[in-house]
A and B are shown apart, each in its own frame.
Chain A
Amino acid sequence: MPAQVTTHSTDVLVVGGGIGGLAAAIRARENGAAVTVLEKANTERSGLAGSGIDHIQSYIPEVHEKIGYTEADLANDQFEFGGNLGGFRRRDLTDYYAYHSAKDVIELEKYGLRFRFEDSDLPGGFRVVPQFHNVPTSYHFEGRDVKRKLTEQALARGAVILNRQHVRTLLKDGGAVTGAVAVGTRDERITVVNAKTTILATSGVGSRLSSSATGSDTFENFGAPTASIGSGKILAAKAGAEVVNLEFTNLGEFAYSFLNYSFTVGLPSGSWWPAGRIVDEEGNVVVDRNRSLPWTEADYKKKYRALVDHYHEQRSRIAPLLIQGKALYFDLHEATDAELAYIWWSLGHEGKTGVMKRHLEKNGVNLRTARFPLRVAGRGTPVLAGIWVKDTTTETNVRNLYASGNEPAGTGMPLPVAGGALVYGYRSGEQAALRAKTLAPPADVSAPYVEALAGQAQEIRSRKEGDPWRLAERGLQVLIDNALGKAYTDKSVALTQQQLRRQRESLRFSAGNPHELSRVFEVLDLYDLAELVLASIRERKSSLAPFVRLDGADSPSEKYGDSVGVYWEGEALKAKRLSNLT
């Protein structure tokens, strides 16, 4: 069966239509470039913010200036966040975010999303919530339809959005990326986009490598949505662009969660949210409820910092208690009526919490009297991974290929996920558009790529009885959870590499329709991602929790200032060191 191929030409191609991709499309259009977006689902509801986000981090001048918190303070907070684990963080990238968030994030208000509330006692009428910084730094807003609003803005500016297109490979000509090839997830037709510049606005996290992104098995099917496959990293690595920080697979060692949602338990909130606390079986308080601090309080920064320190001190008790087998619960027993009302409002504005809210209502759960068990969550997800960028232009080491959203050099969690996606989306769109102005339209080099892809698709589709994608995905997740969910060593990782190879070689996929074919492609990407993760861990060659070298060799100097970057050169997997010191 000959493949049906449609070919498009554009200045800027955006792969992925989440917050970052749509922001890139908006800014690239504003800079005069023709723009095409290839999106695996539908940009109105796709990506990690598809069914909404209720908070987004930003410098908030109206509020922060009142308490003496400067953009420079935010820049320091961003860089030092989590102790700048492993030295992976790039000062140039965190600074760019900190100094541009104030302007970029509030643009969402102009797009029609509500940021100001009559009952707020804060300057500007904002609601502000904490995100582990020295002061609260996130707008709490009505962002349920953020993706619809961004889609409207991109379309109004003349961007072309092609939905249900699963990008499988980037085109490359003479060392530069010149577009991409996609397969329709509903019709398996092939779409070629030849582009002067290409932006990978793909997910920052490959959460689907683990069976559960949060440790909660509440949702039996996927631990993470289709947006969390990590396919952008595979596209990048196969085009020769380094994927970095894959070796940090278990940040924080023990995530805890309940209901797939954390309520930011016990974190001091400033003006709003939350009122949760953590108690043990006997009712002893392990983490206090939040005590709010008025913004007009003298010495706000200092006093707030003391609250944060107190919270962190208490929070550090959770993991050891859970590991000892102690039952711990989250509750809202000390919440006021106003706080509970606020929690209900909030639950309706972010992703799956809307479904959770309905579940609680349907079962007549009284939030004030219910207790929610906490659990240990071991996982092997590369939570800090990203695509290396040369500088704040967001261009990768491969010419005319940009990384957007949460991809640039691993600006994903725990950096500002939605805020970073927006700021770097705008930035990459602007930079890719400016570069495109200097380039002639690329030659169409797609023929061999299309032939290879069509052949692969046909092989999978024509196989009568083969392995279903779901079992292959579960098999991989079990392997990764067991291998990387807790502490691991150089020897155990080498063994896992062998197991992964054997498991993969044994697989013969089949797919009964285009939908299943798309799922098979996702699983193939997950196997590639696992290979990159394991190679990165071995390349790091120093003990970084939870990785332990059994031969005792360790070089402290290796812990700081460099990232491990992995990529393919043809069939060969390569690794190199990239300096984070700028």
Chain B
Amino acid sequence: MAITIDKNKCTACGKCVDICLEDVLGIENGAAAVLYPRECWRCGSCVYDCAFGAITVDLDADNSIRFIEF
């Protein structure tokens, strides 16, 4: 899952739902929720705009950036 929401930090203020470019977020059970996880474009806007630091956006582990250390 690209987006992780820390339910302990989320206040369900709805800012991330308001601004999401791909419209993948909603409010469920008193916290932000990812309604369409496959449609996240990883733009990171929700991370920037969450006043409570409740959201992180990651690249999928199985399909992440490949880099080679040497």
Q: Which residues of A contact B (CB under 8 A)?
A: 41-42, 44-46, 50-52, 144-145, 164, 185-186, 217-222, 225-227, 259, 329, 351-352, 354-356, 358-360, 362-363, 365-366, 369-373, 470, 515, 518
Contact = CB atoms under 8 A, between A and B. Distances in A.
B50 interface: no
17 contacts: A41-B20, A42-B18, A50-B45, A51-B48, A222-B22, A222-B41, A225-B43, A355-B43, A359-B59, A359-B64, A360-B65, A362-B58, A366-B69, A369-B69, A369-B70, A371-B68, A371-B70
Given A144-B48, A351-B43, A352-B42, A373 B66 contact: yes
A50 B38 CA distance: 19
Interface of B: 18-23, 35-36, 38-45, 47-49, 56-60, 63-70
B16 to A, nearest CB: 10
B68 to A, nearest CB: 5
Nearest to B65: A259
B44 A185 contact: no
B67 A365 contact: yes
Nearest to B24: A515
Given A217-B63, A225-B43, A362-B58, A373 B68 contact: yes
A79 to B, nearest CB: 33
Contacts of B70: 369, 371
Contacts of A44: 18-19, 49
Given A42-B18, A226-B21, 15 more contacts: A44-B19, A45-B21, A45-B43, A145-B48, A218-B64, A222-B41, A225-B22, A226-B23, A352-B44, A354-B48, A355-B57, A356-B65, A369-B69, A370-B69, A371-B68
A462 to B, nearest CB: 22
Contacts of B60: 220
B65 A218 contact: yes
Contacts of A185: 23
B21 A41 contact: yes
Contact of A221 (B38, B58, B66, B69): B38
A356 B64 CA distance: 10
A371 B70 CA distance: 8
Contacts of A42: 18-21
B57 to A, nearest CB: 5
Contacts of A370: 67-69
A359 B21 contact: no
A127 B28 CA distance: 44
B21 A227 contact: yes
Contact of B68 (A259, A329, A360, A362): A329
Contacts of A221: 38-41
A295 B59 CA distance: 39
Contacts of A371: 67-70
Most A CB within 10 A of own CB, among B42, B56, B60, B66 = B42
Q: Nearest 5 CB-CB pairs, A to B?
A: A51-B43, A45-B45, A45-B19, A354-B44, A51-B45
B23 A50 contact: no
Most A CB within 10 A of own CB, among B36, B58, B64 = B64
Contacts of B65: 218, 259, 356, 359-360, 363, 372
A3 B25 CA distance: 26
Nearest to A470: B38
Nearest to B38: A221
Contacts of B47: 354-355, 358
A502 to B, nearest CB: 27
Nearest to B68: A371
A370 B68 CA distance: 6
Nearest to A333: B70
A256 to B, nearest CB: 15
Given A355-B44, A366-B69, A373-B66, A219 B21 contact: no
Contacts of A226: 21-23, 41
A291 B36 CA distance: 45
Contacts of B68: 329, 370-373
B19 A225 contact: no
B48 to A, nearest CB: 7
Contacts of A259: 65
A259 B68 CA distance: 13
Contact of B57 (A225, A358, A366): A358
Nearest to B58: A359
Given A185-B23, A225-B43, A219 B69 contact: no
A224 to B, nearest CB: 8
Contacts of A144: 48
